Amino acid sequence: DSGVTQTPKHLITATGQRVTLRCSPRSGDLSVYWYQQSLDQGLQFLIQYYNGEERAKGNILERFSAQQFPDLHSELNLSSLELGDSALYFCASSQDRNYGYTFGSGTRLTVV
């Protein structure tokens, strides 16, 4: 157990639907990062939150949004899902000044 908890582990949904992926960071970590891993594009940074505030945005589609709550857990919302959104979505956390990143086990999203 890495200390970063992602739920659900697997998600199968239809095109056009909306899903929410949840991440609880490791205790003491203030930063949460979301990454998407797909077969055609590899690992892509989506977005980072630090202590509740958005810190950086990467290749995140407008159909996707995220937030970090006061208890530091984060949610990634994916809407109007397309087949191409099928991927493994990782959450990672870090203490901002620490070089270490701890990854959750990922949520495997399948859009059918």
Partner 1 sequence: AQKITQTQPGMFVQEKEAVTLDCTYDTSDQSYGLFWYKQPSSGEMIFLIYQGSYDEQNATEGRYSLNFQKARKSANLVISASQLGDSAMYFCAMREVNAGNNRKLIWGLGTSLAVNP
* Chain residues that interact with partner 1, rule: CB under 8 A: 2, 31, 33, 35, 42-45, 48, 50, 55-56, 58, 88, 90, 92, 94, 96, 99-106, 108
Rounded to 5°, angle at Cα 96 from 101 and 76? 65
Q: Kindly state the smallest distance separating residue 70's Cβ from partner 1, in Å.
A: 20
Q: Kindly state the smallest distance separating residue 16's Cβ from partner 1, in Å.
A: 26
Whether residue 35 contacts residue 46, with contact meaning beta carbons closer than 8 Å, is answered with yes
With respect to partner 1, which residue has the nearer C-beta, 79 or 96? 96
With respect to partner 1, which residue has the nearer C-beta, 60 or 79? 60
Whether residue 33 contacts residue 93, with contact meaning beta carbons closer than 8 Å, is answered with yes
With respect to partner 1, which residue has the nearer C-beta, 65 or 101? 101
Radius of gyration from C-alpha coordinates of the chain: 13
CA 70 to chain centre: 17
CA 31 to chain centre: 12
With respect to partner 1, which residue has the nearer C-beta, 79 or 95? 95
